C-alpha cells in the first residue's frame, strides 16, 4: 500500500472549477513540486492538452480581467511563482445553472495552489502583494480575433475584490457588462 502524499483537488461551487494542491517536497535547501503531470491530473478529473504557457508580472493593485476567448475557448491552469494574487473564475456559459456566478482562490508562491478554469469561464486576478509573477498554462493558443472580456466590477456578478481602485488596462476599463455581451459572443453550456 502506497502512503505517499497525493495531488489534491478541491472542488468549488462552480462545477469544473477547482483548486489543486500539488505535493510539495521541501527541506532546508528549498522545495520541488510537479506543476503538471498529465496522468496524475487526469486521475483527479483534469484532462488538458496545454499548447501555450504564459508568464506575467504585475505590481500591487493591478487587476487583469475578466478575460475569455469565444470562439476558440481556453482552459487555464494558473499559479503564482512569486507574490500573492486573488484569482477569480466566472461562469459565462449561456444556459448554465451557475451563469454569472463566481469563485475565487488566493494563490501564493507560498501555498503553491493552482486554479483550474475550464473552457467557458472568464478569468481575472488582482495582485495583493508588492508584486506577483503569474503563470497561465492554456489549452488553446491566444487568438486576438476572439479575445473578449467582461467588466471586472459588474454589479450583477458582484465579485468581492480585495482592492477598491485597481490599476486597469484601457481594455479592461471598457469591457462590457455581462448583460451587454451579445449572446453569440458567449459560450453555451453543455451538460
Active site residue 67: yes
Q: How far apart are CA 85 and CA 83, in angstroms?
A: 7
Q: How far apart are CA 17 and CA 45, in angstroms?
A: 11
Active site residue 112: no
DSSP per-residue codes, 38-95: HHHHHHTT------EEEEEEEETTBEEEEEEESSS---EEEEEEESEEEEEEEE--BT
User: Which one of 41, 68, 86, 136 is the catalytic residue?
Assistant: 136
The residue written with cell numbers 507574490 in the block is 83
User: Which one of 41, 67, 68, 86 is the catalytic residue?
Assistant: 67
- Cα 138 vs. chain centroid, distance in angstroms? 10
Is the Cβ–Cβ distance between 92 and 122 less than 8 Å?
A: yes
Residues near 188 by beta carbon (within 8 Å), at least 6 away in sequence: 93, 94, 95
Catalytic machinery residues = 67, 136
Amino acid at each position: 500500500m502506497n502512503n505517499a502524499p497525493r495531488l489534491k483537488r478541491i472542488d468549488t461551487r462552480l462545477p469544473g472549477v477547482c483548486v489543486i494542491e500539488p505535493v510539495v517536497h521541501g527541506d532546508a535547501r528549498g522545495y520541488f513540486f510537479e506543476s503538471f503531470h498529465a496522468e496524475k491530473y487526469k486521475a483527479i478529473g483534469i484532462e488538458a492538452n496545454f499548447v501555450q504557457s504564459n508568464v506575467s508580472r504585475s505590481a500591487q493593485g493591478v487587476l487583469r480581467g475578466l478575460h475569455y476567448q469565444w470562439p476558440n475557448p481556453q482552459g487555464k491552469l494558473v499559479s503564482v511563482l512569486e507574490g500573492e494574487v486573488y484569482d477569480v473564475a466566472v461562469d459565462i456559459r449561456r444556459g448554465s445553472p451557475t451563469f454569472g456566478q463566481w469563485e475565487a482562490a488566493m494563490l501564493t508562491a507560498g501555498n503553491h495552489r493552482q486554479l483550474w478554469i475550464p473552457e467557458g469561464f472568464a478569468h481575472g486576478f488582482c495582485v495583493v502583494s508588492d508584486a506577483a509573477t503569474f503563470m497561465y498554462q492554456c489549452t488553446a493558443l491566444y487568438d486576438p480575433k476572439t479575445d473578449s472580456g467582461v467588466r471586472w466590477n459588474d454589479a450583477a456578478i458582484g465579485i468581492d475584490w480585495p482592492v477598491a481602485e485597481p490599476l486597469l488596462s484601457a481594455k479592461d476599463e471598457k469591457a462590457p457588462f455581462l448583460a451587454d455581451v451579445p449572446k453569440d459572443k458567449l459560450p453555451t453550456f453543455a451538460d
